[in-house]
Amino acid sequence: MPLWLRNSLVVLISIITFGLVSPAQASELLSIDQKDTDRTDTYENVSIPADHLTTSQETHESFVSRMMKEAEEQSLAKFGTRIGPIIEDEFRDIILPNMEAAIATVSEQFPEEVLVNLEVTEVPGGGFSEKIFHIVNEQKSDIIRFHVRRDNPPQEGYWFNFHYHTYHDQFQTHYELGTIYWDKNTPPKWKS
């Protein structure tokens, strides 16, 4: 095999596998016995292991797992050091499982090749903002918005109402995730 063709194939395999096969591995995969001068079976022994091949797809399970890791990080960042330690356990027990169910439901509406392009917004809202995080597509359009609102029903103290909105109805409907009681006293601002 000419050197230029071999080098081209090494580069091509490296590009196709998005770096999962290093040039050294690709070179090994393409190496042929130099003693063999018969060119008819040159490519018969060239194979790329299945675990080195990638696609631009993500399974629904891996997508939900990736989003849940981000959801927990963004939520704890929003709660800050004053609210977080007080509601963290209830949040993990009550709200996170419901978030996971909501993300799983929405993810089922997309083909797996699209899931790779969905991502979590980077910064949760502070102060009195409701925003925890949004999941956006590659055009940065919101797909689902996760929020927490402070409720203060008369004579009941303060509650954190966790909910989400979806793009299906232009984010009009509140889908409940759960509520967590704070106290009779006003809670501090988010991220404080």
DSSP per-residue codes, 106-161: HHTTS-HHHHTT-EE-S----BT--EEEEEE-TT--EEEEEEEEEE--TTT-EEEE
Q: Tens of pLDDT along 123-158? A: 888 889 999 999 999 899 999 999 999 999 999 999
DSSP class of residue 77? H
Q: How many CB atoms lie within 10 A of CB 169?
A: 8
* pLDDT of 18 higher than 60: no
pLDDT at position 1 is 65
Domain boundaries defined on the chain: 3-52, 60-183
pLDDT at position 105 is 92
Name the 3-class secondary structure at 188: coil
DSSP class of residue 41? G
Q: Tens of pLDDT along 113-128? A: 888 889 998 888 888 9
In the numeric block, the tokens 């580069």 are attached to 11
| pTM listed for this prediction | 0.69
